[in-house]
Amino acid sequence: MNRTLRYRRSGRLVSILALTLLCVGFVSCRAEKSKAEASSKERQLIVGFSQIGAESAWRKCNTRSIRDAAESYGIQLLFDNAEQKQENQIKAIRSFIAYRVDVIAFVPIVSDGWENVLREARDAGIPVLITDRKIRISEEGLHAGFIGTDSFEEGRNAGRFLVRKFLEKNPTRQEAAKQVRVFELTGTIGSSVATGRAMGFREVIANHPEIEIVHSESGDFLRSKGYEIAKRCISDLLVVDAIYSHNDSMTLGIIDALKEAGIAPGKDVVIITIDAEQASIDALRRGEVNCVIECNPKTGPAIMDLAVRLAEGESIPWIVHVDEQVFTEFDNDLDAIESRGY
């Protein structure tokens, strides 16, 4: 065989070989791509969640609800407990971005200071769901939506009960236009829920000049601080008509201090509290608390439903407020209140 023929034959052989390799490569790429496509559809959704801590029974129930819902939805949950520090939340969100989770959800411990890390999530193409507490942000497009409590309405409900208790229910006091002195224990300074509960309460009592807030101080949603403040201010508590406490944990601390001082909670002084954990419902039934405003912690399923919709590229409602009730001493059947689970 002369060299040319040999070359021609060998050249054809090389062409056939090259074409074969090209086809095999193409097929394997297609296989890889379809596998990748398939896996992305079947791949488990990954949600990064930053929780603020475990400061109250309400918070622990909220965490249980989120973890249980992720499990029932088959979602891989990367969960971080920030131990009450915003900087830990920002670190956790950055780690979720680096891990390239599908969705980020978090409870902003305070309303401000989130712009930079939310810009980083947006630039990484990861949708962010805000839950429980709200953020104060001017720039649009940095989060997809909010689900949680309506703290303003909770504050209004506290004010409405106080008006009913002292003015509508006591015409003589209304006629005498006696002053109603209120001692307020607020939640974490700078948190949207403390701001909302304070502002909603003030919006209602603004129409009743008889009602005056004579002391307002933050107990940071903690039972220990509620107790400490009540101990320190016990002389004030001897003369106020009502205590408005932004959560049950602080209320339980206040009740401990009142009892130590021989003051009958719910009788010598009216007590209004928010969360509706089992201990405060039990206190309402014993007459040690006069009004319990529910703040629903069981938002896990709704959070995961919204996360799935975000991961599938759907838009979600900008704000979803969860349904919440008010329980008072005027209710007919306090024993009918279902077990709270927290």
Which residues bind to ligand GYE, rule: CB under 6 A?
Answer: 55-56, 58-59, 132-133, 149, 193, 221, 247, 249, 274-275, 295
Name every residue whose Cβ is closer than 8 Å to that of residue 91 and which is 6 or more positions away in sequence: none
Q: Which is nearer to ligand GYE, 143 or 309 (CB)?
A: 143
Shortest reach from residue 167's CB to ligand GYE, in Å: 27
Q: Which is nearer to ligand GYE, 184 or 275 (CB)?
A: 275
Least separation in angstroms between residue 227's CB and ligand GYE is 15
Which SS3 state, helix, strand or coil, does residue 239 take?
coil
Looking at beta carbons only, is 186 or 328 nearer to ligand GYE? 186
Q: Which CB sits closer to ligand GYE, 184 or 241? A: 184
**In the complex with ligand GYE, which residue's Cβ is closer, 84 or 170?**
84
| Residue 125 burial (C-beta neighbours within 10 Å; 0-12, 13-18, 19+) | exposed
Helices (H), the chain: 3-42, 57-73, 86-99, 115-123, 151-163, 171-176, 192-205, 223-232, 234-237, 248-260, 278-286, 300-311
The least CB distance from residue 265 to ligand GYE, in Å, is 19
**Rg, the chain, Cα only:** 29
Q: What distance in Å separates the CA atoms of residue 284 and residue 290, rounded to the nearest whole number? A: 6
How far apart are CB 99 and ligand GYE at their closest, in Å?
26
Length of the chain: 342
Q: Which is nearer to ligand GYE, 93 or 295 (CB)?
A: 295
**Which one, 55 or 241, has the nearer CB to ligand GYE?**
55
In the complex, least distance from residue 194 CB atom to ligand GYE, rounded to whole angstroms: 8
Which lies closer to ligand GYE via its Cβ, residue 210 or residue 282? 282
| Cβ 256 to ligand GYE shortest distance, Å | 17
**Residue closest to 291 by CA, chosen among 162, 172, 150, 184:** 162
Element (H, E) at 243: strand 242-245
Q: Least separation, in Å, of the C-beta of 292 and ligand GYE?
A: 12
Euclidean distance between CA atoms 89 and 91, whole angstroms? 5
Check the CA dihedral 114-320-59-240 and report its sign. Answer: positive
Residue whose structure tokens are 């780690």:
95
β-bridge mates for residue 275, sequence order: 294
**Minimum distance of ligand GYE from residue 232's CB (angstroms):** 21
User: Any residues with CB less than 8 A from the CB of 218 and at least 6 apart, and which?
Assistant: 185, 186, 187, 188, 189, 194, 225
- Closer to ligand GYE by CB, 291 or 308: give it: 291
Reduced to 3 states, what is the DSSP secondary structure of residue 1?
A: coil
Q: Least distance from C-beta 296 to ligand GYE, angstroms?
A: 9
Look up residue 336 and give its DSSP letter: G
